[in-house]
Structure 1
Amino acid sequence: MATFERASPALKEILLRIYNAEKPIEVDHHLYEFGSVEYYIKSSASEPFTYLSISTPLLSQGVFLSYGLSPYTLQMVRDISIDALDIVEPPTDGYQLTLRLDFSKLPHDKESLKIITEVSSVQAVILSSQLKEMLQNVNSWDISQGMYKPIKLIYHPREPFYVIRQPQKIVAVFPMRFKDHSDVIIATSFFQELMDVGSSGKWAKVPHCNWSPIPPPELIGEPFEDLSTNGGFVSFDISSHHVEGKRLDKTVWSLLNFYAYVKHHVKCTRGFIQRRMRRRMDSLVQVLEKSMIEENGEIKKIKGNAGWKKMKKWMRLTSKSKMIKRRYHDFRKKMKRIRFRIKIHGFARFRRRWLTMPNFSSSMGYTQLKNNN
């Protein structure tokens, strides 16, 4: 799952431990994150180098990744530190990138912590660089060669999104899926609010946002399983203005973390609603407790779960008469259904003719005996 932090906390901790050691230490450690990202850190006491290998799902299987990592991605990794970082060719088997780190060439000040943090975020650099290549060429696509076909990008296996190239802009579409119906309601209201805020004049320079419960026309022809959602589709229009200078990095990271932003908002909103409901219930229990007066006139104080149990008991007692009336009403309805059954035309005549009990007469007559006495 996407995270708000670029750097891996666990990887950063290991690299800092190696850097702060007084002498080279032995490290041979595999680190797994998000179920699909793997780091292999190897350090030997006999040499001053530390090797870091990374295996990560690539963002897309499109034209940019036909031959592995692009030169643009590799150059971004080299720019982290020209003196202390080298790219090993070929990388370790099973990994896409292997770095050789020489911590002895790092400056002994706050700059070293910054470089180690950037090295720990190399997986985010790989993913961001691929999307940056697409957005940087927003005005250079040859639309006449059929470049309207959507490109499916996968940051997380269950959270794909699409990038559609159009004249003078790129459209990013996010199919939204949620497990709970309550999450769908919260997210839908959030998307509608996002559209209202984005259409205001104050936020005129931000990418235009649109939400629709049905797929946009640009995704016509895509597999049905990719378009079956319960949260609709959110799209952003990325123009050349949004990829200039430092805006490019912010735009890319916001798109890659959009799913995480939405899930974080839904989780916080659900927690806020639950807290408000609990506080409301507590206040209601207090009001009911104050209304419960014992025979001696004292107020009965009940705390915790006892208050809730007492409240339910009180509600049952107060609604007892209503329950009796309701049950009596239901009983009367059942009796009416039994008494007034559906009448079938002609059934009475059929019953008189065929379902009447015959009159039996004895074949032996008898004579009343008279008493002569």
Structure 2
Amino acid sequence: MACIERASPALNQILLKLYSAEKPVEIDHHLYEFGSFKYHILCQACEPQVAYLSISTPPLCPGILTSNKLSSYTIELIKRLCPGVVEIAEATREGYQLTLRLNLTKIPRRNDYVKVIKEISTVHSVILSSQLKEILWNFNSDDAIKGMHKPIKLAYNPREPFFVIRQPPRIIAVFPIRFAEKSDVIISTAFFQELVDVGSLDKYTKAPPCSWSAIPPPELRGEAFEDLSTNGGFVSFDISAHHVDGKRLDKTVWNLLNFNAYVRFHVKTTKGFIQRRMRKRLENLVEVLHHTESEQDNEQITRHHGCSCTKGLLVKSSKYNILKQRWGNLGRKLKRIHFRVKIQGFGRFRQRWLRLPKFSSSRGYTKLG
């Protein structure tokens, strides 16, 4: 999958770190990007102001660009990146197609150095764009005259190939869409249908017409089955002459290279948006449930508190009744006691120490003479 940005983020970060280092830094780093691009960055302490950047990439279309070497057109575009800073080394590192010599001393020390290093990091986009431009320019004219418009398979990423068919005066680009998850297929299908509807509006007449189909278009008849087995359908763009005229050519080519990346980026952000909305909705529902539970708990506490007070009153009342009953039994027992003999001073003793309640008795005491 191609990167939507022209500058390589990883390569840009390494070059900035190398340029901003206060002390000489030795770097011997291998970098792989997008599954097909390979970089090697070398900077030695004996020559700290020079860095060597080696690049290797498979051909965009093995059927046409059979040579592993870069074309002269691509080399000229690379030389125009940063004249004076970027030079093509005479000796290419083994296993790589191109080695660039970066003179760090010629990079300006002001804020412009960020822009220069970012432009150097766009070398992969220059190579890819130049290869696609060459394929469109060097199309077999004999086949076009005979009416044999054979599709060209472009495999920047082996898992995401797309096809280009040239039918004068137009060029058809067909993208087979594949996804691993079913939810991605649903989101992408809705996106393609909306893309077709929006593209048919009057204010977008200058944009290439877009179409989507669940089955392969007629232009891809005869292609390999593994290239046509998709679950997301086929998206086609009709590119006219004014879309590849002048400065529009570079923009059109880069958009074609990044269409698969843009679709996957859209699906990813849509899934993130849906998940955030679902999470927010869930938080609101949980908040409502917690509010309802708190109200129910308050009601239960109020009821429990009322029951506790009643129970306490009942407990106090039952204890009072038990004590009253016991005192009543004791009083009845004392009433049954008959003092046949009266002892002098016993009454004061009883009032002082025993403190027994006085009980009225119908029987009197017998006084001994």
| Coarse TM-score class (shorter-chain normalised) | 0.7 to 0.9
**CA-CA distance at 1:103 after TM superposition:** 1.7
**CA-CA distance at 1:49 after TM superposition:** 2.6
CA distance in 1: counterparts of 2:252 and 2:169, whole angstroms: 16
**Counterpart in 1 of 2:363?**
none
**Contact between 2:59 and 2:68, CA under 8 Å: does it hold in 1?**
no
CA distance in 2: counterparts of 1:139 and 1:262, whole angstroms: 31
CA distance in 2: counterparts of 1:182 and 1:21, whole angstroms: 46
CA distance in 1: counterparts of 2:301 and 2:286, whole angstroms: 14
CA distance in 2: counterparts of 1:229 and 1:287, whole angstroms: 44
**Counterpart in 1 of 2:27?**
27
Q: Which amino acid aligns with 1:176?
A: I
**Counterpart in 2 of 1:52?**
53
CA offset digits 1:198-217 (Å, max 9, x no partner):
01101000011110000000
Structure 1 residues 23 and 104: alpha-carbon distance in aligned structure 2, compared to 1, 3 A threshold: farther
CA distance in 2: counterparts of 1:241 and 1:69, whole angstroms: 28
**Counterpart in 1 of 2:74?**
73
Aligned pairs for 1:118-197 (under 5 A) are: 118-135=119-136, 143-145=144-146, 148-197=149-198
Q: Which amino acid aligns with 1:297?
A: E
**Contact between 1:139 and 1:169, CA under 8 Å: does it hold in 2?**
no
**Counterpart in 1 of 2:260?**
259
Q: Percent identity?
A: 61
CA distance in 2: counterparts of 1:247 and 1:295, whole angstroms: 68
CA offset digits 1:56-109 (Å, max 9, x no partner):
233211324436211111111011122122212452111111111112223333
**Counterpart in 2 of 1:201?**
202
CA distance in 2: counterparts of 1:45 and 1:282, whole angstroms: 57
Q: State the aligned residue count.
A: 300
1:5 aligns with 2:12: no
**Counterpart in 1 of 2:342?**
none
**Contact between 1:28 and 1:41, CA under 8 Å: does it hold in 2?**
yes
Aligned pairs for 1:268-279 (under 5 A) are: 268-279=269-280
Q: Which amino acid aligns with 1:209?
A: C
Larger radius of gyration: 2
**Counterpart in 2 of 1:297?**
299
Q: What runs of 5+ residues in structure 1 fail to find an aligned partner?
A: 301-373
**CA-CA distance at 1:182 after TM superposition:** 1.3
Q: Which amino acid aligns with 2:44?
A: S
Which stretches of structure 1, 4 residues or longer, exceed 6 Å deviation after superposition? 137-142
> Secondary structure in 1 aligned to 2:129?
helix
**Counterpart in 1 of 2:249?**
248
Q: Which amino acid aligns with 2:85?
A: A
1:237 aligns with 2:243: no
**Contact between 1:139 and 1:168, CA under 8 Å: does it hold in 2?**
no
**CA-CA distance at 1:299 after TM superposition:** 9.4
Structure 1 residues 57 and 86: alpha-carbon distance in aligned structure 2, compared to 1, 3 A threshold: same
Q: What runs of 5+ residues in structure 2 fail to find an aligned partner?
A: 303-369
Structure 1 residues 180 and 205: alpha-carbon distance in aligned structure 2, compared to 1, 3 A threshold: same
CA distance in 1: counterparts of 2:257 and 2:190, whole angstroms: 22
TM-score (norm 1): 0.73
Structure 1 residues 295 and 179: alpha-carbon distance in aligned structure 2, compared to 1, 3 A threshold: closer
Structure 1 residues 64 and 131: alpha-carbon distance in aligned structure 2, compared to 1, 3 A threshold: same
**CA-CA distance at 1:138 after TM superposition:** 8.3
**CA-CA distance at 1:281 after TM superposition:** 3.1
CA distance in 2: counterparts of 1:62 and 1:166, whole angstroms: 19
